[in-house]
A = this chain, B = another copy of it.
Amino acid sequence: MNENLSRWRVFILRLGHRPERDKRITTHVFLVARAFGAHGAFYSGQRDKKVEESVRKVVKLWGGPFTLEFVENWVGKIKQWKKNGGEIIHLTMYGLPLNETIQKIRESNRDKLVIVGGAKVPKIVYELADWNVSITLQPHSEVGALSVFLHELYMGRELTKEFKDAKVKIIPQARGKKVMKN
């Protein structure tokens, strides 16, 4: 399978990054975004060059395309996305269940901006979102929510996605590790 999984594009917007506290969670959000087929990510809060660096290292070694960009004015970014014809999906435990929403989201032709919160998500996010979607009605993890959302959005096709310009590639094994180098 090539890198085109669908007719729309998916980007992630990670809100309110705090370098000390969120470093690893935010990195996992971006790596999950890339591994599960998103085209890139934006983040707000505080800029964190260490997180950017570790994501770029993964893209360089394991392939892309996957872009990462800090945005100061995240409300502006959301509004611009909608103005350009895209739709906004906010993942929140308070939203409508995945199984009631995913098919409509999948079938719309609009590019998708998937918002995952940091600490407390401002009310305006719920209002600007076209879809507030819950992945279980339980508290757990933005990383878990994003991975299951993308997995359902792509209906599992992301699991065998091929990445461009990868320097290394895994050959699946029942036991042990096998890595092919290009």
Q: Roughly how many angstroms separate A28 CA and B129 CA in the complex, as a whole number?
A: 25
A156 touches B99 (CB 8 A): yes
CB nearest neighbor in B for A123: B176
CB nearest neighbor in B for A146: B144
User: A94 and B139 in contact (CB under 8 A), knowing A25-B25, A28-B144, A36-B144?
Assistant: no
Q: Roughly how many angstroms separate A141 CA and B26 CA in the complex, as a whole number?
A: 11
| A175 contact set on B, CB distance < 8 A | 126-127, 129, 132
Interface residues of A in 68-101 (CB under 8 A from B): 93-99
Taken together, the copies of this chain in the complex come to 2
A140 touches B172 (CB 8 A): no
- Total interface residues on A, using CB and 8 Å? 55
B159 touches A35 (CB 8 A): no
CB nearest neighbor in B for A147: B144
| A94 contact set on B, CB distance < 8 A | 170, 172-173, 176-179
A141 touches B143 (CB 8 A): yes
| A138 contact set on B, CB distance < 8 A | 31, 34-35, 62, 163
Q: Roughly how many angstroms separate A97 CA and B158 CA in the complex, as a whole number?
A: 12
B148 touches A135 (CB 8 A): no
Binding site for B on A (CB under 8 A): 21-22, 24-25, 28, 31-32, 34-36, 58, 62, 93-99, 123, 126-127, 129, 132, 134-141, 143-148, 151, 156, 158-161, 163, 169-170, 172-179
Which 3 A-B pairs give the minimum distances between C-beta atoms?
A144-B147, A28-B141, A35-B138
Could you name 13 residue pairs across A and B whose Cβ atoms are closer than 8 Å?
A24-B25, A25-B28, A31-B138, A31-B139, A31-B140, A35-B140, A94-B178, A95-B173, A96-B172, A97-B160, A136-B159, A143-B143, A147-B148
